[in-house]
A and B are shown apart, each in its own frame.
Chain A
Amino acid sequence: AQSVTQLDSQVPVFEEAPVELRCNYSSSVSVYLFWYVQYPNQGLQLLLKYLSGSTLVESINGFEAEFNKSQTSFHLRKPSVHISDTAEYFCAVSYTSGGYQKVTFGTGTKLQVIP
């Protein structure tokens, strides 16, 4: 079975400070890794993904995540956060099961940026 652990349910951080949101996963099959972001009263949308190649992936708004196979982690970082980054962030693993795509989501981390 596949599982995703986001140990931090809430992370408060001051504006312009750096932040790291942690994600660890467990899987018995090959998976692809995703971070989704959910702004208040909206659905989830993709932030970034790791499929293969360079283990460091970046988003267009300054977030980055590094895939670490040995530690089974995919932590999300941003060197300087903005008020607009206030949202809930979900780590997810995607895999094929029975010929179909399955996605397991973590429980989410709420990032609260303090002015």
Chain B
Amino acid sequence: NAGVTQTPKFQVLKTGQSMTLQCAQDMNHNSMYWYRQDPGMGLRLIYYSASEGTTDKGEVPNGYNVSRLNKREFSLRLESAAPSQTSVYFCASSLTGAKNIQYFGAGTRLSVL
């Protein structure tokens, strides 16, 4: 089982460049999430999608956009990368409901120079 797959695993950008982080899950989950992880700050929610066709802002959405392409795929776009967006990005998915476990991808390590 692939679970949650993120691409790419590593990326280096120059300030002002754009890129899209891809995420796909094969567990038929309705909900998908994008987090960023920074040292000493835990995981912070950027955007989430409760179901296909819906997206909502999380705690730190500025500088990012998302697309829920279909039930499987949820992409995160940086339109004009800034050094403050250097981080590790995780995609997660879950069934609907607060009791459910979130399943995480392996992460994308992004450096913005």
- The interface bits of chain A over 74-96 (1 if a CB of B lies within 8 angstroms of the residue's CB, else 0) are 00000000000000001000111
Q: Mark B25-48, 1 if CB is under 8 A from A, else 0.
A: 000000101000000111101001
Smallest CB–CB gap between A70 and chain B, Å?
A: 22
| Interface locus among B13-21, B79-87, B101-109 | B101-109
- Chain A residues with CB under 8 Å of B70's CB are none
User: Residue-by-residue, is A37-74 near B (CB-CB < 8 Å gives 1, otherwise 0)?
Assistant: 00001111110010100000000000000000000000
Provide the bound-state CA to CA distance between A67 and B98, in Å: 17
Does B41 contact A42, Cβ atoms closer than 8 Å? no
Contact B42 A107 (CB under 8 A): yes
Considering only CB atoms and an 8 Å cut-off, how many residues of chain B contact the other chain? 26
* A34 and B33 alpha carbons, distance in the complex (Å): 17
A42 to B104, CA, bound (A): 9
Chain B residues within an 8 Å CB radius of A100: 31, 48, 50, 56, 96
A interface, CB within 8 angstroms of B: 9, 31-32, 34, 36, 41-46, 49, 51, 90, 94-96, 99-103, 105-108
Could you give 16 example pairs across A and B, Cβ below 8 Å? A32-B99, A43-B4, A43-B107, A44-B104, A45-B103, A45-B104, A51-B99, A94-B100, A100-B31, A100-B56, A100-B96, A101-B94, A101-B97, A105-B42, A105-B43, A107-B40
Given known contacts A43-B92, A107-B41, what 12 new A-B pairs fall within 8 Å (CB)?
Answer: A32-B99, A42-B107, A43-B106, A44-B102, A44-B104, A51-B99, A96-B97, A100-B50, A101-B50, A101-B94, A102-B98, A105-B43
* Residues on B facing A (Cβ under 8 Å): 4, 31, 33, 40-43, 45, 48, 50, 56, 90, 92, 94, 96-107
